Every structure is written in C-alpha cells, then in structure tokens.
Structure 1
Amino acid sequence: MRRPNPDAAESHAKITRRSLLLGGVQLGFIGMLGMRMRYLQVEKADEFRLLAEENRVNIRLIPPARGEIFDRNGVPLAQNEPSYRITMVREDAGDVEQVFHRLSNLIELDPDALDRARAEMRRSAPFLPVTIADRVSWEEMSRVSVNTPALPGITPEVGLSRIYPMQEDFAHVVGYVGPVSDYDLSKLEDPDPLLRIPRFQLGKVGVEAKREDALRGKAGTKRVEVNAVGRVMRELSRREGVQGADLQLTIDQRLQSYIQARLEGESAAAVVIDCQNGDLLAVNSAPSFDPNLFVKGISVADYRALTDNKYRPLAAKSIQGTYPPGSTFKMVTALAALEEGIVSADDTVYCPGHLEVSDRRFHCWKRAGHGNMSLQTALRESCDVYFYQVALELGIDKLSAMAARLGLGAKFDLPLSGLAKGLNPSREWKESVRGSDWVPGDTVNASIGQGFVLASPLQLAVMTARLASGLDIVPRLVKSVNGVEAATPQANSLGLNENHLRQIRQGMFAVSNHKRGTAYRSRILEDGFRMAGKTGTSQVRNITAAERAQGVTKNKDLPWERRDHALFVNFAPVDDPKIAVAIVVEHGGGGSTAAAPIARDITLQALHQGEPPLAAYPRRDRGKIEQQQERLRRILPDRHGNRQDRA
C-alpha cells in the first residue's frame, strides 16, 4: 500500500488556495463590472440616451421670409420672389466634369460660377450641396428637372430672393440686400446665427440696412437625423420662423418715379415734403442705379461703370450731399433780421453792386447794382448787398440761431444711410475747427449761403416747409409697420411772429409771380396751385479781380465741374401750403434757368397727383411741356415696375 506523498499534498493545497483566490478575484471583477453596467444602463440610462440623441439629431435654422417694403399707396418697392438654383452633391455625382458637360447642354452655365463651385467642392464635405447655377429661369429649371435621372448629384431647388420692381427709382431710399460678408459680421458684437447660413442676405444700405432687424424676421428650426459623418438622413420635425415685418413708406411711387424720369440727364437731387406732417413724398438722386445688380453680387464691369461715372450714381445726393445753399438761405437772414427788429418791411438798403468790408469788396450778382432795395424787393430780385448789410448789423450768433431753428445743421432721425448734418457755422465752430476768430467777412458770406454754410437738399426742404407752415416740421419716412401706423412727430409752433413769416412768404411769392422775380419764367398760372419760391446759385470756384474786370466767364463756357450749382426751393399752394420742394442741380449754372423749371414741374405733378393740364404753364412753354409729357409717359413705370421705353 502506497503512502501519500507529503509534497504532492502540500502542492495540491497551494493550487487549491490559489484557484480559490483567483476565482474570488474574478468573481469580484465580474461583480464590479455588473454593478458598473447596471449603473450605466439603469441609473444613467436617461442621461446617456440624451447624449446619444444629441449626437444623432441636429437642430438646424430655417431662414424666415424677409419683410417687404411698399410705398404709401401699397405699391411694392422690395419683394421676395421664387429663386431657382441648381445644386450638386459631389459624392452622388461621380464624374463631376461629366455632369457639368451634360448640364451645359440643357442650360447656359457661367464659367466663373463653375470655377467658384469647383473651389467650394474642394473645401467642403463631399455630401454637402454646392450651388452650380443661381437665379435660373423657370424654363431652365423645368429642363433640368425632367432630366435629373441623367444628372446624378444634381438637384433643382426653390428659395426666395429679393427683387426691386422699381429698379433705379428707389435705389437710394430702399437700398438693397447682399450676401453676408466677414466685414458685416465684424461690425456686430453678437451676430444673429441666421447671418451664418450660407447664401443668407442682409440689408447693405438704405431702409434695407437701417431697418434690418425688423425686416429680417425670426428663424425657424428643424430637427434632422444625421449619421456618423454628418449626412442628413431624414427630417424629424419642423417649426416655421416668423416672417419679417412689412414696411410702408411715406414715399409716393408715382411722384418718385416721375421725378427720377424728369431728372434724367442731370446730376441732381430733389426732395418733396408734406408741409403739415413732415411725410417725405419723394427723395430722389440722379443719376441712379439698379439695386437688383447688387443682390447676387455685382460684376466688376458693372461696378466700375458706376464708380467711374462723374455724375456719381451711387451717391444719395438728396440726403448725403451738402452744398452751399446760396440765395435760398436769404430767407433765414431776412427772418432773423425781422425777429430782431433790425429791419422792417419799409426799410431800404442801397445797392451799388458791391459792399466794402474790412478792405475787401463783396460783389452783388448784378454788377451795376439794384439801387434801393426793401426786404420784399431784395428777396424778389435776390440782391446780395441788401443781405450783406443786414447780416453785419445782425451778427453771426443770431443768424446761426435762426438757421438752426429752421432745421439747418440738423441730422434727422431717418432710416437712411449716410445722412449728412451739413454745417451751420458759428464763432465757436470756427475757433475749434479752424483755430481762428470769426471775422465780419465770414458773416457777409454766410448771409447769402456761401462761405462755410452747407446744407443738404433734405434740410432745405425742411427749412422751406417750416417757413410755409410756421411749425417745427420733422421729416418722416416710415408710414406703418405691419399695418400699424408709425408715430408722427408732433409739429409745434416755431414761436415766430406770424407777420414776419407772412412777409417772407410774400417775398417768395414775388420771386415766382412778379415780372421782375428771378423765377418768373417758371411760374404756375393755374389758380389754386401757385407757388412761392426762391432761386439760388452757389459758386464752386473763386472769381479773381482780373476776371471781374474783364467780365466773369459764363457758366456755359466753363468745364462742367467748375460751373455753379443751381438751387430752388418752393412751397405750394401759396394760400394753403401742402408741399415744399427743394432742388439742387449740380453744376447746373443758374437756379432760375436750371432748377426752377424742374421744381415747377414737380410741384404741379405732386399737387395734381398725376399729369397737370397744359393751361397750368405759361403759354410760351406749352409746346415744350407737351413733348416732355409725351416722353415721360413712355418711360414711367407702372405699379409693377414695367416701362414701355427707356430710350
């Protein structure tokens, strides 16, 4: 009988202990793993389910429809129209160039657009769509749609794009939209996420830019399921956004379009304002441009044509341009002198054709002089010496205060780009800006709207409306927002002596209706529509003593950019002022010959709300006016922006 080996028994015992220890460790590990799995799958199940859902489901923005813009009568000025585009997904297309070739047999493809598409494909994920052709026609869209089986990766899409049916007539007021740029984003502290959507557009200038927040609307959202690489698999839910607010402007489209056509061929600006409530009925700058060119990105050639034009079509001259107001400023000087008791209606000043001030001779426009002038006759015949003399007694402080009271030097709160403040000079201004004292010669120049004085056509229109009404008229451009009437600034009395205002108005009436008035040839004959106005001619060059001795060169003999600016302001009807008008024709020569006839035509068009009768015009002008009306009928747009002829 064999006896057990003690060593074997001891070895077996050790193995058994080790097995038990190892089994215990394994059981402990499995237990811990089970507890961890229970913790993750049961206790943390909701949290991890949410994280998984967030990785699988994306929230994407839906651009809202942009608010539209209308004139005071509901005529559309800025609309949204269906925009058709062709996109391509590179990974679905396979041979991209082959698909391009097939597509080019169906529609015309822009080589530059194709180059941009190739560049975008190289830097984008292969499953992201890239625009190949934008703003294609419905016919082209249809041809592509029926041939999509032979065009792998190609998808016809429909979106909304901005369109301006009145084209150049409202470019400087409504403005335009364009693609969001890095510069646009850099100007915003906390940009709306909408602005980062590819091909999203925002207002660049004009009302489109200044009322961007209201017009843009609020984004909608959609929940989409994506796979591991980010490709959209399906849409789970959608919440539509809020359309932007519709704006109604105070501008009258028929009047605005008429003025734009009437100013054709000129570098000019015109403003028409309601004398009672400040509504801007027309704000024109000529020449203009088609804002539709900017919506999808203007070409280099088109942009260069605009910037190289010496008439500056991109400039909104009516609100951004500032000009020496010339003799249209004389009402300010006269009214300030009346209010201060320096002159009365019967006082006269002798005009020999010049006035000596501090060893310097200041000339009147009439070289031989006007003789004895009263306030009425000085306004009627625009005698410079009368206002020189009156201003020297008045002083610049009181003259500047009256100019401010009438709206000069003010920057009005309007949703327009680049509103100019102009310049209503004072002693303090010259000392701080020029570093020199105010001298009597400065006052003499300011008295006739020259020297340092600068005003925009908008400011001149406001000044005229205040003279006509005696109220502190403030211009208004937005009539309503989403059908809710916008607040009208309360017009209060200027606190001026009504008798003094009446004398100024009578002088302006004589300008247009007295045979010796500077605008008599542009008078209105129709009873109930007669206007009161004031001509102005502002120099843009210095006239030397030698030139005066030999005879001042006529404007027509000078290069265009050295000719005087022509100005005219007026209100009508005289007995019950409804509108005020301001016109500036850059380098037009004389206010009586270049600006007054245009203002007369605009005034009649505004008061008649359409084409006036020929009987309203002087007999000698009726033949020319009839031809002009016939020409304008052909080029004026209808309410949809269609024109018969733009030749």
Structure 2
Amino acid sequence: MSDLPRNRDVEGTGGSEGYLNSPDGEWFNRRLKGTMILIFIAFSVILVRLFYLQIINGQVYRELSTNNRIRLQSLPPSRGLIYDSQGNLLVDNRPAFDLIIVPRDAQPVSETLERLSQFTGIPVEEMAGKIAKKGGDNSSRQVVLKRDIGRDALAPVEVNSFDLPGVVVKVRPKRFYLNPGMAAHLLGYLGEINARELSSGKHPEASGGDFIGKFGIEKVMEPLLRGSQGGRQVEVDARGRVIRELKRVEADPGKNIYLTVNTELQKRSEALLKGDVGAVVALDPRNGAVLAMASSPTFDQNDFVSGLSYAKWNALKNNPGRPMENKATQALYPPASIYKIVSSIAALEEKVVDEKTHFFCSGTHAFGDRVYRCWKRTGHGSINLEDSIAQSCDVYFYEVGEKLGVDRLAFYARGCGLGKPTGVELDNERAGLIPTAEWKRRKLNEGWHSGETLSLSIGQSYNLVTPIQMAMLIASVGNGGVIYKPYILGKMETADGALVKQTLPVVNGRLPASKKTLALVRKGLWGTVNDRKGTAKVAAIEGVTVAGKTGTAQVISKAKRDSRTKKSIRKFRDHAWFVAYAPVENPTIAVAVIVEHGEGGSTKAAPIARKVIETYLGKGEAARD
C-alpha cells in the first residue's frame, strides 16, 4: 500500500508547506493578507472616531448628554396689581393653566395628540398645525396648544400624564379686571406680543406667547408692572417629565400701582354716559389729579386677555361709536362756546374790551357780504363781557374776534394749553388744532379770510380740542390760573408694600391772564349757572356754588343740516359741551363733559356734570342715594 502513487504524491508535496507554496496556496495567502489589511483599516477608523468623540470632542457631547436630561424653565413674574385712590383693587391676577407640548419628548407625536384630543376635546388638526408652525415633530421648543384650558380639561390631563409624554400644564398668572368695562380706556388691557414688538427691543425679557400691555396704563407702565422673570433648572426623564428641581431663581414681581381715580366717581360717570357717545373728565384743580376719565361706549378688557374672537374684534372695530378710542384724550371736537373763555382772556389782556364795554346784539352781525347769527334769534340787546359769558352771546364775541384777529387769538389759546398734549400718562394723546394764518397757507395753500376769525372766536371753524384739554382749561380758571400737568399715577409700591414713587404735582405753566382778567371771567362763569339768564341753570346744586360754561359744537352748518335732515338724523346733530368747577370759593373738582350729537350743552351735558359733581361732593342726588 505504501507504494501507491497517491501516497507518494502527497508526501512529495511536503504537507501544508507544499500547499502554501502551490499556486492555490499563494492565492489563499494573498486573500488573507488583503482581509487583514481591511480589518486593520476598519479598526483604525473606529479607533480614530472614538478618539475624536471621546477625547477631542468629548466635552461637547457630554454637555449635549447633560442637556438632554437637564433643562432650564422660565418662571413668569406676577404682574403688579392696580388699585384706585382709596385702595380698592381694580386689576388682579388669577392662575391660568396653559397646555404645552415638547414634540421631541412626545414621540410618536401623532399618537400623543390623539390621546390628548380625547381628554381635552381639542381637534388633532388644530394641535398639529400649531406644532408644524413651531418647527415640526422633532422640535425641542415648547408649543402652547391651548391657553387657560380650565379645570375641567386640566383634571384628565393631569390624571393621564403618564400616557401623554412631552405634555405639560404650565401655570401662569392671568390678568383679571374686577369691573369689566369700567375705566377700560384708562386702565387698558393686555395682549399677546407680536413679532414687531418682539424685535423692537422694548421688551428684552419677553418671548413669543407672552402678554404685554397694549393700551392705557397697562401699556405705559409695562416695564414697572411686568417685573423680572425667574427660572429653574430641572432634571427630566426620557419623556420630558420633571424628576427633580436642581436650582431655582425666583421671579421679581411687578410694582403695584395706586391711581388717582375714584372708583365711585368713575362708575357714576360711565353710568351717566351709557347709551351715548362721549366722554367725562374730572380733575382735582388743586394739583391736576385725574379723578375720573370715562369714554363711551366701552369694552370688556377680559376679552382681550382670554383671546378675542374674530367676530368680537369685528364688532368692536365696526361699531360707529368707536369703543376702542379713548375719547377723553384721542377724540377731537370743535370747542364751541367753551372757547369764549379764551376769547375773553385775549380781549381783556389785549385791551380791546374791558368790564364796561358793551356791544349791541340784535341776533345778527353783518360782516362783509355775510350775516353771522347769534344762537338767540331775538338777540341779547346791549351786553357786556360778564353777561356775554353767562348768556353765551355770539354777537359779542364776533365783535371781539373782529378786533383781535386770528393770530392773537391763537397766541392766547396756546397759552391756555390748547393745541398741544397735556402730558397725561396715556399713549397716543392728540394735540388738537389751533389755527393761524400761516397754518392755513401751509396746510391748505390759502390765505386767511377775516370772516373766518368770527367763527373762530366762538369755537367753530378749524378749532379742535380734546375733552381733557377742556377739563384742564376750566380747572386752571377755577384755581386762579395754574396749569397743572394732569396725572393718573398716584403712587407705586413693591409687592411687599415699600413705597417706590409718590407723584408730586407738576406745573405746566400759567394762564396768560392777570388776576383782574380771571376775576371777570370767573364772574361770567358763575353767572352761567347762577344768573337767572344763565345758559346752565340746570347745573346748579343746592348748598354748592358751581361755575361753568355751556357749548354747542356744530357738526355741519345749520343751513345744510336743516335742508338735508330737518334735524331728524342723529349724526348731523350738534355736539353738547359743558365744563364746570366747584365749589367756586375753593374748587376741589373740575369737570368736562362732551356728548356727541347731544345737541344742547345745557340740556344734555350740564345735567351729567351736575350729577358727577354731586357724587364727588356727596350732595344732592348722591347724598340721597
């Protein structure tokens, strides 16, 4: 058997060495070396990558890992409260529960939304749309699905929180106005911050979804009412749920504000205006403090905080009474016969008349080819300045205007605080308009006609004023000539009651009138209410001496009004004015009332002013109430 060729051939190959030296062995050897090289390269790549991840970039990935379980959450400050002058709370905060989702923690998002919809009733499509706008399903940003969900929706969400990964309920303080609609134009309201406001740099601590003051005191005092945000560092699990709190910095609450407004007087003023379009402004003539500021019609500020529906916003925007306009500071009206106070001061100071000067009023005054009429068709007869104020004789002031001219009238009007903002702490206060000959050339490219001055002298023509300007004018006459800057903020305190600021009266100037001039004008204003021929006897109060002035501002000329409407269409009727101060001996309240299309100042505006004064002084009807 040993001589078999097969065995000899095997032995001749030299065993495994012979195989490796054979052509087949060489091929196998090359394949093995190639494989080893590939394995070496692969391991080298892995080692290099591990070196890069763990050594070179290790700190970065450690931080990312930490951030996946440690997060920072903001703590909103409690907004400052607002009180009236008596310490009655007007604006408060209450807890609101916002439904929030972090999409990255809520995987799979579609299933989480389905469950959430079952518990809350919020449509899946609505929630998915909000997530899509904020970065999609993989976003790590918090997305507010619904604000102020209420306790009925809150309970099932909290009970089923384990089945709702990435879903949290965040508690935040929500603004609440205790007397909805009361002082809405003065207090203002909050609204969600928009992109323009975010980029303005005026709200450095605010972020998308925050609420800020949009109107009134809420807007003007925003930096003080808002406070400063706090924050906390928390550890979360894979589902985004908080495991424990690591660190906390408490929020700094906003400052509490005490206004000069008297709530009883504010409510009374608004009740007296109900059903009409207009404004009431009541001031303390001794310092300029705003006692009441009513604008009608009004609106409910809580609607804005809760999220105003499209239908409600359209209703407000299209309301012909313009409820979103603060008529006390933003609406412009011809001053009508209230302006005769200015004309009287100008005439006396420029010595074109004195207390003995009489003009004859026959009911008309001819100038050029036109006849100017007095409100009293039969005329007032021979009349002096004092009686012309009390009886509001137009012809007397046509004579005054003719002698003064437009520019001298304008000088005294501006000196009385007209044609410029009063400076009250509310945004968008309008300046009004006091025309001059140069203004007309520049604005209308026309020269001034002398006849226009006659209309100007009784408060018509291009004259435009705000109710707060009229209130300041009558307050300045009542206090002896001091023009104060009106103010609403009485004092400011920290949340724990420490005084931050106490407002002190600011003098803006003095009326351009001597004591003798003011004494004569005040006599005329006394006669308006107390003389048997005065135009506002209805404003008299038993036990209190009131002085004032009526005004009837034309919307269109009498000729046009009578021919077009026969006085039947309200929008063509005159506006009713009345201004007053009381008590005459030492005034503590000054009031301006405007009722749009109220026709007569004596019949519509004066009774409102009388009741406002009665309420403040505790007299008449107010005392019986």
Q: Same fold (TM over 0.5)?
A: yes
Matched with 1:584 is 594
User: Are 2:515 and 1:505 aligned?
Assistant: no
Q: What code does the residue aligned with 1:541 have?
A: I
* Cα 1:82/1:289, change in 2 over 3 Å: same
Structure 2: how far apart are the matches of 1:37 and 1:142?
51
Out of 478, 488, 503, which is 1:477 matched to?
488
Deviation at 1:563, TM superposition (A): 0.6
Structure 1: how far apart are the matches of 2:169 and 2:72?
24
Q: What code does the residue aligned with 1:74 have?
A: G
Deviation at 1:296, TM superposition (A): 2.9
Q: What code does the residue aligned with 1:91 have?
A: Q
User: Are 2:616 and 1:603 aligned?
Assistant: no
Post-superposition CA distance 1:499-546 (Å, at most 9, x none): 221111111111111221111123212x2x22101110010112339x
Deviation at 1:440, TM superposition (A): 1.3
Verify the 8 A CA contact 2:281 2:328 in the aligned structure 1: yes
* Cα 1:495/1:266, change in 2 over 3 Å: closer
* RMSD (Å), alpha carbons: 3.3
* Cα 1:398/1:534, change in 2 over 3 Å: same
Q: What code does the residue aligned with 2:78 have?
A: A
Structure 2: how far apart are the matches of 1:360 and 1:92?
84
Out of 448, 453, 462, which is 1:452 matched to?
462
Verify the 8 A CA contact 2:112 2:164 in the aligned structure 1: no
Post-superposition CA distance 1:548-582 (Å, at most 9, x none): xxxx5799832111110000000001111111100
Q: What code does the residue aligned with 1:365 have?
A: W
Matched with 2:107 is 91
Structure 1: how far apart are the matches of 2:283 and 2:125?
49
Structure 2: how far apart are the matches of 1:232 and 1:223?
10
SS of equivalent residue, structure 1 residue 168: coil
Structure 2: how far apart are the matches of 1:465 and 1:232?
60
Out of 532, 537, 541, which is 1:515 matched to?
532
Deviation at 1:62, TM superposition (A): 2.9
Structure 2: how far apart are the matches of 1:233 and 1:609?
65
Verify the 8 A CA contact 1:539 1:564 in the aligned structure 2: yes
Q: What code does the residue aligned with 1:173 have?
A: L
* Cα 1:523/1:556, change in 2 over 3 Å: farther
Structure 1: how far apart are the matches of 2:532 and 2:117?
75
Structure 1: how far apart are the matches of 2:508 and 2:559?
46
Matched with 2:550 is 535
Matched with 2:278 is 268
TM-score normalized by the length of structure 2:
0.82
Deviation at 1:130, TM superposition (A): 4.4
Deviation at 1:131, TM superposition (A): 4.1
Structure 2: how far apart are the matches of 1:558 and 1:407?
36
Residue range with higher mean Cα deviation, 475-484 or 591-600: 475-484
User: Are 2:191 and 1:201 aligned?
Assistant: no
Q: What code does the residue aligned with 1:308 have?
A: N
* Cα 1:612/1:226, change in 2 over 3 Å: closer
Verify the 8 A CA contact 1:93 1:154 in the aligned structure 2: no
Out of 92, 104, 108, which is 1:79 matched to?
92
Structure 2: how far apart are the matches of 1:144 and 1:276?
57
User: Are 2:385 and 1:375 aligned?
Assistant: yes
- Map 1:118-517 onto structure 2 (within 5 A): 118-122=128-132, 123-125=135-137, 130-138=143-151, 140-142=153-155, 144-146=157-159, 148=161, 155-186=168-199, 188=200, 190=201, 192-197=203-208, 199-224=209-234, 235-469=245-479, 470-482=481-493, 483=499, 484-490=501-507, 493-494=510-511, 496-517=513-534
Structure 1: how far apart are the matches of 2:226 and 2:113?
38
Verify the 8 A CA contact 1:77 1:170 in the aligned structure 2: no
Out of 551, 559, 564, which is 1:544 matched to?
559
**Structure label with greater radius of gyration:** 2
Verify the 8 A CA contact 2:119 2:153 in the aligned structure 1: no
Verify the 8 A CA contact 1:406 1:467 in the aligned structure 2: no
* Cα 1:274/1:366, change in 2 over 3 Å: same
Structure 2: how far apart are the matches of 1:555 and 1:352?
28
Deviation at 1:477, TM superposition (A): 1.4
* Cα 1:490/1:522, change in 2 over 3 Å: closer
* Cα 1:230/1:103, change in 2 over 3 Å: closer
Q: What code does the residue aligned with 1:166 have?
A: N
Verify the 8 A CA contact 2:593 2:609 in the aligned structure 1: yes
Deviation at 1:585, TM superposition (A): 0.2
* Cα 1:218/1:148, change in 2 over 3 Å: closer
Verify the 8 A CA contact 2:197 2:203 in the aligned structure 1: no
Deviation at 1:211, TM superposition (A): 1.8
Structure 2: how far apart are the matches of 1:375 and 1:58?
77
Structure 1: how far apart are the matches of 2:519 and 2:359?
21
Verify the 8 A CA contact 1:92 1:153 in the aligned structure 2: no
Deviation at 1:185, TM superposition (A): 2.5
Q: What code does the residue aligned with 1:535 have?
A: T
Verify the 8 A CA contact 1:93 1:151 in the aligned structure 2: no
Deviation at 1:67, TM superposition (A): 1.8
Deviation at 1:55, TM superposition (A): 8.6
Structure 2: how far apart are the matches of 1:415 and 1:468?
23
Deviation at 1:91, TM superposition (A): 2.5
Structure 1: how far apart are the matches of 2:238 and 2:256?
42
SS of equivalent residue, structure 2 residue 197: helix
Verify the 8 A CA contact 1:395 1:443 in the aligned structure 2: yes
Structure 2: how far apart are the matches of 1:346 and 1:110?
79
Verify the 8 A CA contact 1:255 1:609 in the aligned structure 2: no
Structure 1: how far apart are the matches of 2:581 and 2:446?
39
Q: What code does the residue aligned with 1:475 have?
A: P
Structure 2: how far apart are the matches of 1:523 and 1:67?
42
Structure 2: how far apart are the matches of 1:37 and 1:148?
41
Deviation at 1:612, TM superposition (A): 2.1
Structure 2: how far apart are the matches of 1:233 and 1:136?
24
Deviation at 1:252, TM superposition (A): 1.3
Post-superposition CA distance 1:370-426 (Å, at most 9, x none): 111111211111110100101211222222122112211121223313211001112
Q: Which runs of 5+ in 2 are unaligned?
A: 1-39, 494-498
Verify the 8 A CA contact 2:165 2:239 in the aligned structure 1: no
Task: Quote the sequence identity (%).
Answer: 35
Structure 1: how far apart are the matches of 2:466 and 2:122?
43
SS of equivalent residue, structure 1 residue 419: coil
Q: Which runs of 5+ in 1 are unaligned?
A: 1-25, 615-628, 630-647
Residue range with higher mean Cα deviation, 287-296 or 130-139: 130-139
Verify the 8 A CA contact 1:81 1:162 in the aligned structure 2: yes
Matched positions, count: 566
Verify the 8 A CA contact 2:166 2:241 in the aligned structure 1: no
Structure 1: how far apart are the matches of 2:156 and 2:298?
37
Structure 2: how far apart are the matches of 1:48 and 1:143?
38
SS of equivalent residue, structure 1 residue 557: coil
TM-score normalized by the length of structure 1:
0.80
Structure 1: how far apart are the matches of 2:580 and 2:206?
45
